[in-house]
């Protein structure tokens, strides 16, 4: 997607985040000259017509939302198989980043953030839009501290579609509600539950439930009660803990009636927290709709309810449980018993069995083994690139555990490695190609380089596997990078017999380089003369090739010979000619005679070392040379 322009308007600049359903990019809006965030749906969702219909409808509904605590949605569109949403670009951090860095957050800060999230949800609920994926990762905090909720529309579309079509729940297992874990219909109270989990994490630094697998965590949302927040952080006031507990009730009917009621309690909590000296609330600060009327009977029935000793009498009276609350506890216990019955089977039975080990076995074999041991089996699946498809990855309870008959054993079966589509890397720079490979969950394999006339240097010209192949995540992708236009070839001239000092200009014009110079004693060529070259003459070489030379070097003590040619100039009828040689042996006359004008004389002279030859006519120097 990098450098791609959607609808000739939004130019994608860089990837800034993403999840299992979409990637998020920073882009430039050419029309309005501003930065925007672009959320692009992953390719595996683009072929589901029902999902696309829901996505469009709900994304358009989300675009109608206008609230200071909601990321603005500017546009929704489709361009070349890419469904996208254009959103407000927020420069800041996610709430998850803040929790990881600072948790547990101060109570006042946590309540303030939770209240702003609640106000955003209230606006959405009033517009018949349920978020369904409230989690710290979807809460942005601007540099000025403003809370912004994002991801409206997409999460609901994905959850509804996948539940209907495949029975698989896609969501954030640490934060979703029990009804989401069961795969049943969700509503506004699911957002209330998720907000309770977020507040729990802000106050304690921990999510309420952890487990070895998503299924085990989902079961805890359904079956178990979280550890009370005050056990993890004693500084949490009881009133704040009560808000968290109520928001996270297993039964949606026992949670806040709506998000507005939760906001009212947050305001009540803020009033309580403003009293820095006593941490107390006046009786008039309680909204009457939160706690039922207090009766004498209810006060007696709840005389054992523990409250802080410094709570004023008015707060003590309002905080006691009513009969209705006791009835709710009784119903909760009854529900827990039903869950225990369903989850653990015949709990009245005295017969116990040892859970067999089925990890690594084929699913049908594992199912038969479990049933043959008088146990029940629940099968879920998950992607796993280390366990072959159809084999059991893990089981709960673990092998060797002693349980009663008919206990349900949950097994997780491998679907094999998660499949992804190979991106088209051709034409991308090497850096962008590596980012695309990483973003697709793949690995960079072998990188080769080739000359390519039509492709700029450092761009991808081919890849293996080729797009749009579907491969398992973690697969290596080999790429070939262009080295640019291939260098031209030239026929190498014959430099032999030339002086080394004279060939530099010729080498430069041919875009060749002078290489290694080797001096070889030689009395047949003047010192500095090229006597051989590598590569040899007429060889075709590419521009930039290095040429090595062997150069003649004088031989000490060797006799040097040369033929001296002299033409007697015009002048007197008889002229005196003298040839003088100077070498290591000294100066001597090698020839002397009288000749007529125009006469041509050739004489061979010799010497050792550096030999200088001088020709005189009538005692005047006519010519001179060195051999």
What are φ and ψ of residue 10, in 5° steps?
-105, 110
**Residues forming beta bridges with residue 513, ordered by sequence position:** 546
On the question of a cis peptide bond just before residue 440, with omega within 30 degrees of 0, the verdict is no
- Give the Cα separation of 502 and 495 in Å (integer): 10
* Beta-ladder partners of 394: 412
Burial of 601 (0-12, 13-18, 19+ CB in 10 A): middle
Strand ranges (DSSP E) for 306-418? 352-354, 376-382, 392-396, 402-404, 408-414
Provide the 8-state DSSP code for 138: G
- Residue list for the binding site: 39
DSSP string across 274-290:
H-TTT----GGGS-TTT
Q: Are strands 513-521 and 546-553 parallel, antiparallel or unpaired?
A: parallel
Are 458 and 430 a contacting pair, CB within 8 Å?
Answer: yes
What is the end-to-end Cα distance of the chain in Å, rounded?
74
Catalytic site residues? 133
CA–CA distances in Å: residue 170 to residues 162, 166, 174, 321, 392: 7, 10, 12, 38, 21
Please say whether the beta carbons of 578 and 615 come within 8 A. yes
DSSP letter assigned to residue 74: E
239, 199 in Cβ contact below 8 A? no
Q: In what order do the strands lie in the sheet with 22-29?
A: 5-6, 10-18, 22-29, 34-41, 82-88, 73-79
H or E stretch including 553?
strand 546-553
Two tokens at 600?
């041509």
Q: Where is the binding site for ATP, in residues?
A: 39
* Distance separating alpha carbons of residues 457 and 90, to the nearest angstrom: 36
Distances in Å between the alpha carbon of 92 and those of 46, 98, 354, 485?
30, 10, 53, 44
Q: Give the torsion through C-alpha atoms of 43, 44, 48, 49, to 10 deg.
A: -10
- Contact present, 295 and 326 (Cβ < 8 Å): no
Q: Are the C-beta atoms of residues 236 and 203 closer than 8 Å to each other?
A: yes
Contacting residues for 470 by C-beta, under 8 A, at least 6 apart: 419, 420, 421, 422
């Amino acid at each position: 997607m990098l450098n791609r322009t959607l609808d000739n308007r939004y130019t994608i600049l860089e990837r800034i985040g993403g999840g299992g359903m979409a990637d998020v990019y920073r882009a430039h809006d050419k029309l309005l000259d501003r930065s925007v965030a672009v959320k692009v749906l992953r390719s595996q969702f683009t072929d589901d017509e029902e999902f696309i219909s829901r996505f469009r409808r709900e994304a358009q509904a989300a675009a109608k939302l206008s609230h200071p605590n909601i990321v603005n949605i500017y546009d929704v569109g489709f361009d070349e198989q890419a469904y996208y949403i254009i959103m407000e670009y927020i420069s800041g951090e996610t709430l998850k980043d803040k929790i990881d860095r600072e948790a547990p957050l101060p109570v006042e800060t946590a309540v303030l953030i939770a209240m702003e999230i609640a106000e955003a949800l209230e606006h959405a609920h009033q517009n018949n839009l349920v978020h369904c994926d409230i989690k710290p990762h979807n809460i942005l905090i601007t540099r000025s501290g403003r809370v912004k909720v994002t991801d409206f529309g997409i999460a609901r579309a994905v959850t509804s579609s996948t539940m209907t079509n495949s029975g698989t729940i896609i969501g954030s297992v640490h934060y979703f509600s029990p009804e989401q874990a069961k795969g049943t219909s969700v509503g506004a109270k699911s957002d209330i539950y998720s907000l309770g989990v977020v507040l729990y994490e802000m106050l304690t630094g921990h999510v309420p439930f952890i487990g070895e697998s998503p299924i085990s965590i989902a079961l805890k949302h359904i079956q178990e009660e979280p550890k009370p927040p005050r056990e993890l952080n004693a500084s949490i006031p009881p009133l704040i803990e009560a808000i968290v507990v109520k928001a996270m009730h297993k039964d949606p009917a026992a949670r806040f009636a709506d998000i507005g009621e939760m906001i009212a309690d947050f305001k009540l909590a803020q009033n309580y927290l403003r009293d820095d000296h006593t941490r107390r609330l006046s009786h008039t600060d309680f909204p009457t709709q939160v706690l039922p009327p207090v009766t004498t009977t209810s006060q007696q029935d709840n005389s054992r309810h523990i409250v802080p000793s410094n709570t004023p009498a008015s707060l003590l009276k309002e905080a006691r449980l009513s009969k209705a609350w006791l009835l709710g506890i009784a119903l909760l216990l009854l529900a827990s018993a039903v869950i225990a019955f369903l989850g653990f089977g015949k709990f009245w039975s005295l017969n116990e069995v040892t859970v067999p080990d089925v990890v690594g076995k084929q699913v049908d074999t594992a199912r038969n083994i479990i049933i043959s041991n008088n146990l029940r089996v629940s099968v879920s699946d998950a992607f796993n690139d280390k366990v072959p498809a159809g084999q059991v990855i893990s089981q709960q309870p673990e092998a060797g555990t002693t349980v009663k008959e008919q206990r349900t054993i949950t097994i997780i079966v491998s679907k094999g490695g998660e499949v992804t589509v190979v991106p088209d890397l051709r034409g991308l720079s090497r850096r962008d190609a590596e980012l695309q490979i990483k973003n697709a969950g793949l690995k960079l394999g072998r990188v080769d380089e080739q000359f390519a006339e039509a492709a700029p240097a450092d761009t991808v010209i081919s890849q293996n596997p080729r797009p749009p192949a579907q491969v398992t995540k973690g697969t290596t992708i080999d790429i070939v990078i262009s080295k640019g236009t291939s260098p031209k070839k030239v026929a190498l001239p014959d430099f032999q017999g030339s002086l080394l000092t004279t060939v530099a200009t010729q080498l430069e014009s041919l875009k060749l380089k002078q290489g290694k110079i080797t001096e070889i004693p030689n009395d047949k060529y003047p010192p500095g003369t090229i006597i051989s070259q590598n590569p040899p003459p007429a060889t075709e070489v590419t521009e930039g090739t290095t040429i090595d030379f062997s150069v003649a070097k004088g031989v000490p003590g060797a006799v040097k010979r040369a033929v001296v040619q002299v033409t007697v100039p015009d002048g007197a009828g008889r002229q005196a000619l003298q040839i003088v040689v100077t070498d290591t042996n000294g100066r001597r006359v090698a020839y002397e005679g009288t000749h007529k004008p125009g006469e041509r004389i050739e004489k061979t002279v010799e010497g050792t070392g550096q030999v200088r030859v001088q020709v005189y006519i009538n005692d005047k120097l006519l010519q001179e040379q060195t051999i």
